[in-house]
Structure formats: C-alpha cells, structure tokens
A = this chain, B = another copy of it.
C-alpha cells in the first residue's frame, strides 16, 4: 500500500494525526507545512518529507488537504475502524486508564476491565464492566477485544501471557513496570512512567 516508513516518521504519525484532527474540528480545509511544523515544533522541511510518505496530498499554493491526510494517516495506523481495548488490573492507574476520556476520539474504546479482586469483579466503572481475570479468554473473544492495557503487578505477568496465548490478542500496552520484549505472537509496547520523568531529567541536567 505504501513505501516503508522509517521509524522516526512512524513516531511522528500520531502527532500529525492529532494536528490534522484539531484543524479538521476547526473546519480548516488546507494547511501549509509551515503551519503544521509550528504547531508540532518541527521544521517545515521535515514535515514535507514525512508527509510525502502518505501520497500526494500537498497542492502547490493550497497546502495539504486536512481531511484526506487525516483519513489516510488513521488508515495507516489502523485506527479508522475503531479498536476495542480492555484494561487488566483496576488499581489506581488501571481505573484511571479505564475511564480515560482521551481514548475514544482517537478510535479506541475501552470495553472491559479485568481484576482478581472479588470486591471489584461484577462492578462497573463509568459504564465499563470489571470481569474476573479467570474469564479473560472468554471475554476477549466475546467482546472482540484487540488490545490489552496491562497495569497489574509485574509478578502476575507470566500468568496473564499464558492466558493470552489462547486468545486472538496481538498487542499489549504494558504499564506493569517490568520491561517486556515482543515475541512472534504478541507485540508489546512498554510505557514506563518513571522513564518519562528520567528522560525529562536528562535534558534538564544536560541542557
């Protein structure tokens, strides 16, 4: 469908999508690379180079067609049809992610939570039901869940993955603290909140 996109450009796809979504919501039809660059904090040449991967949406004198580029990027990301998500572990962080209002507009719908605590199982948070982790296999299939967000203690990760191997889950967003490595079956993206602070500190310390 498209040329192979370099990894740094992939990392910026979401930024472009967000920028075009905001412009689209404000009924802006065309935008220049300079405007996009300013909004994201990049240089315009980089923006033109990146967006060249997604086809001919630039029109000399007009700029980029916002709606077309927005649609094309969300197709490339795979979020245009909507993605069903579940959260495993409904402690403080898990509950916050389960109720997070920033997912839906970006194509992600949290449809289930999982927990081992009998005091939580069966309840709803913001309309999302908490299931027993024992029923994960069944619920994932029934609810057509594509991605799991894991926020459990690291110690129970092996147990969760042995369950996941029997499901169609192919992607995990891992907040569990322990860095996990993707394998053939499941792609893992690690989000480490302390790492975000460390990286910020690096630039404060070495600027």
Contact = CB atoms under 8 A, between A and B. Distances in A.
Contacts of A77: 198-199, 201-202, 205
A9 B179 CA distance: 17
Contacts of A129: none
A203 B97 CA distance: 21
Contacts of A34: none
- The number of times this chain is found in the oligomer is 2
Kindly list the 7 A-B residue pairs having the minimum CB-CB distance in the complex, ordered from nearest.
Answer: A78-B205, A41-B181, A106-B194, A96-B96, A92-B96, A14-B195, A189-B200
A85 B147 contact: no
Given A78-B205, A100-B93, A206-B76, A196 B173 contact: yes
Interface string A105-138: 1111000000000000000000000000000000
